[in-house]
Structure 1
Amino acid sequence: MTFVSDQLRKEFDTPEAMLFLQHFYRDLIFWITPIDLSATASLMRSAYSSNPRGRKPHDPADMLRCMLLFTKLGLSVDDGVVALRTTPVYAIVCGFKPGETPGVGTFYDFFPRLWRASTPHKTGRVKRRLKKPRKKGKKNEKQEPKNPKITEKLVSRILREGKIHYAPKEHDLLQQLFQSLFVLPSAAKGLLGDTSAFRVIGDGSPVETGARSYGKFLCDCRKSGNWKCSCKRQFSDPDADWGWDSYREKYYYGRTLYMFTAADSPYNLPVYPRLFRASQHDSVSWICGYRELRHWYSDWKVGEALLDSAHDALPIYTMLEHDDVSAIIDLNLRRSGHTVYNEMKIGSDGVPVCPIGRKMVCWGKCSGRQRIKWRCPAKVGKWECPTPCSPSDYGRTFYTSTADNPRLFPRIRRDSKEWRKRYALRTGVERCIKRQKVDYNLEASRGRSSRHWNIRVYLIAMCQHADAWLEEAKKQKQLVSVEQWLEGLAAA
């Protein structure tokens, strides 16, 4: 802060210059200066050589701050370097003196330090071409997984293992920076809700890659007229594959961005962004990502999971019940309908239906047990049933238990106002993804590697938290003029 204050006073030393700074750069200054990146060096110590020889590297905190500025302004690395050199205020708020900013090559050397892998790709660049699927899906319906029992197998393995066994990932350093510098400070500010009963939302969205799906030919089959050979080719983005975009009703070549968002956040803040294969179903992405989420935030207690109908699979309910998590999941209409449970038909909303086709009436929850009592609609409504199924004056009673079938009988009744109120929060993850893809134009860079896409997704997620901090400061009227802010720093 002292460096920023001294340099701004030196560069903008006249009342006119200070007025210019106040008018054009006030929000940017108060957006980037509250971000505490002092722990960046310690988190990235393993990414730098301990050999004292050679030129001393730039402070990784300053490099990360520059990348956040580029992301905020929507600039590429080349354009961002030019902006640092031509706009003194950009250089100063990033921790550099005007005229002493890093070059393009310095930033491209910094990217591999954020990625814990020897190559920007997870797989080899030479492989056989993936063919685009011919069978199209339906509007607003996710493509079914290739293995129908994959969710059951994954959950069975997780429950069998018991403890969370986390395998190191290439993006671990990015998650450590994101969690330590942004998520935990937001939680301390109360912007993520109650972490002792954390409510999480999950959903996936397609991300198209800038690479082509055809690849580069390495064989001579074309000379003989064979343009559809099955020989191996070289790909600029070998980790991408084909997925179904249910909203646009088309296949796309790229990845799936699966976002875990805080349901109680007024700013729809992300807590764990994850990139998976485009062909992977959302239910599989949730199972894998949820396990990783519990590893990263082991001190938090997940209380509720709010998911759409793509996650409507009994193994997911079973896994959440095992972790004492309330499942708020919409039923998949293709799997709904009347189900028989203890010789009683159950409607698509989880309400028992009596033999004459009338819905039974909820008569409260059994205290201390996840069990709901239902009564005969005729006895409650005081009308005569043509075929009574019980001679009792009280009428027939029926009980549904969450332990017996958590999918049909979740902890909160599907037909209740409380269910609708809580499920309405699920749209927060869609607004979070919209911030990534529309406001920050995620796909504009047209990247061609897993390293590129992970870095870009995490930078935007960091900016989302910084945006929330600025909005919160404005809401609480904590912002002052730049001149008053500088005077306060000087006095301190």
Structure 2
Amino acid sequence: MAFITISLNIGVITLFGHWQTHSEYQQLLIQNVLLFYQLDKPRVTRLAKALSKLYILDLDGLKPILQPYYSNTGAPAKHQPEIFRSFVLMSELKYHGISDWVDTLKSDALLCSMIGVSPDDVPEVGNHYDFIDRFWLGENPNARDSLHPFKRKPRKKLGKNQKQPPRHPGIIQKFVDLALQGKTFELRPERLLQQIFAKVAVEPSAKAGLLGDTQKLGISGDGTCINTGGSPYGIRVCDCKSKGLFSCDCHRRFSDPDARHGWDSYHEVWFYGHCGYFLSVYNPILKADLPLYLRLVEAQRHDGVSAIVALAEARKLYPHFKFDRFIGDGAHDNYPTYELLNAWDTKAVIPLNSTNKGHFKFPPPVKVNEFGVPICLEGLPMINHGFMKDRCRNKWRCPLAMGKINHCSHKDQCSPSPYGRTVYTKPEWDQRLFTAIPRGSKEWKTEMKKRTSSERVNKRILEDYNLEESHTRGKKRLSWWVMIHSTNIHLDVRLKLSNFSLLAILDDLMTKVA
């Protein structure tokens, strides 16, 4: 089939050159793809999901975000929204190499029409890499190699589900103190990528109702191991080998200078790369998991440290959202985290770490078990009867009066009232044990099930969108692809909610033409 070349020089002239608006792109997409639909309907049908994603992906909000990072002088930049669509389509179609992808675009007029360019005006490989480099706010974005000491993989293995401990004692408390002062890492190089993701993915999903009530969000946080495509051995630059020294610790050149060895507690192996820490939201109606905040940190960083940074930055990134609950695993079970969440009026849903169960910061006024549940005279855990918000305390009732048991030998001694004995616990006694949502309650168990949302988001990025298969090296490019894949995850859920398909529009037009 002969390639159809269509001019797409429509848009508003700015310092970007021709910025194609979303409505103009949608009109041109329908016009161009309709021609292919008439000539090769099966192929367009196979690409229906990708077409529908790009059709609803509104990039108009990118313009004010990107403008400060382009010069007002010289030749105007062009194809900014088109290059972004190119990355999204590349992710959707599981292409891992930019060079191969650009070659594919140049030989496929349909794919060109999908991103909004003609085959003779495809952005080059350098344009794609420049796009990534431009929005990474770290120093020397073009540096690919770096010298640093060679460190061997640790030999000692940790236990199953055992996390690496924080490298610096008291570091979580220090980060909490900074967060309570309103401080965040404003110089972090991925700051712009997070803003882009919030604008093109999270905010449209929030407007569509995918996040639920944004004034009462329940968010999950978890870390995941990300293997780098760089070698952990590096390249020797010393002359030790010529002297007969084959095992030296001299500086070596590494293609991923930020990668380090970290412990993968799930697979019980040491890995070489980075750790991703993501915050996500679970939609129970659609049974969908949506990433909210994305950050790559050092492979050996403890999740408890990453959580403080993530929560502080996410609150600043989404000032109009209210985080009502934070759900994390046992790695987040520490007093500073509860202190921070309590100060922000965010309910903590965190299981007690098995190594810390039963440890009280202050002795409670009533006898409780290791989960903070009061124990009655019969030796049984009392039944939670809700949180009294006006008096900031949890109410617990007698298990006999609540119908949980049929007989109690201490009934007369405990309370002769048919209502049964009532006990109250206050979070201020021990924020870790006496949480606002009582441990073991029905609400607690319901919320705790949502914790796996963050794990499923990790799986979507790593496996469904094949992050590691691309063998990407460097925190900059890994962060870029995490953002692009996460954007696709939001588009997946938006399509699922709306049941939208571009094919319906094309079929309607075909009927009218006929």
1:449 positional shift: 1.1
- Equivalent residue in structure 1 for 2:84, among 64, 78, 84: 64
Aligned 8 A contact 1:361 1:376 in 2:
yes
Q: Which amino acid aligns with 1:100?
A: D
Give yes or no for the alignment of 1:250 onto 2:250: no
- Equivalent residue in structure 1 for 2:314, among 280, 285, 293: 293
Unaligned stretches of 5+ residues in structure 2: 1-22
* Residue matched to 2:451: 426
Aligned 8 A contact 1:40 1:60 in 2:
no
CA spacing shift, 1:365–1:202, aligned 2, 3 Å: closer
Q: Which amino acid aligns with 1:384?
A: S
* Residue matched to 2:428: 403
- Equivalent residue in structure 2 for 1:210, among 229, 232, 236: 229
Unaligned stretches of 5+ residues in structure 1: none
Aligned 8 A contact 1:121 1:451 in 2:
no
Deviations 1:118-172 (A, max 9, x none): 434899822212332232111122222233422223213333x2x3444222112
Distance 2:359 2:63 in 1: 59
- Equivalent residue in structure 1 for 2:72, among 26, 36, 50: 50
Give yes or no for the alignment of 1:328 onto 2:349: yes
The percentage of aligned residue pairs carrying the same residue is: 33
Pairing 1:99-110 to 2, within 5 Å after superposition: 99-110=120-131
- Equivalent residue in structure 2 for 1:442, among 462, 467, 476: 467
Distance 1:113 1:182 in 2: 20
Aligned 8 A contact 1:221 1:227 in 2:
yes
Aligned 8 A contact 1:152 1:315 in 2:
yes
Distance 2:334 2:250 in 1: 39
Give yes or no for the alignment of 1:342 onto 2:364: yes
Distance 2:227 2:221 in 1: 20
1:346 positional shift: 2.6
1:451 positional shift: 1.1
1:343 positional shift: 5.9
CA spacing shift, 1:478–1:62, aligned 2, 3 Å: closer
Give yes or no for the alignment of 1:415 onto 2:440: yes
* Residue matched to 1:461: 486
Distance 1:297 1:245 in 2: 31
Distance 1:400 1:441 in 2: 48
Instruction: Name whichever of 110-119 and 280-289 sits farther off.
Output: 110-119
Instruction: Name whichever of 220-229 and 337-346 sits farther off.
Output: 337-346
1:112 match: secondary structure: helix
* Residue matched to 1:29: 51
Q: Which amino acid aligns with 1:383?
A: C
1:473 positional shift: 2.3
* Residue matched to 1:80: 101
Q: Which amino acid aligns with 2:45?
A: H
CA spacing shift, 1:154–1:124, aligned 2, 3 Å: farther
Deviations 1:31-63 (A, max 9, x none): 2111111233332123222113x4x43221111
Q: Which amino acid aligns with 2:330?
A: S
Distance 1:190 1:143 in 2: 38
CA RMSD of superposed structures (Å) = 3.0
- Equivalent residue in structure 1 for 2:504, among 456, 469, 480: 480
Give yes or no for the alignment of 1:191 onto 2:210: yes
1:307 positional shift: 1.0
Matched residues, number: 482
CA spacing shift, 1:14–1:105, aligned 2, 3 Å: closer
CA spacing shift, 1:205–1:486, aligned 2, 3 Å: farther
Aligned 8 A contact 1:178 1:462 in 2:
yes
Instruction: Name whichever of 97-106 and 390-399 sits farther off.
Output: 390-399
Instruction: Name whichever of 300-309 and 1-10 sits farther off.
Output: 1-10
2:428 match: secondary structure: coil
* Residue matched to 1:112: 133
Aligned 8 A contact 1:115 1:451 in 2:
yes
* Residue matched to 2:198: 179
Instruction: Name whichever of 337-346 and 144-153 sits farther off.
Output: 337-346
Distance 2:142 2:423 in 1: 56
1:477 positional shift: 8.0
Distance 1:168 1:204 in 2: 22
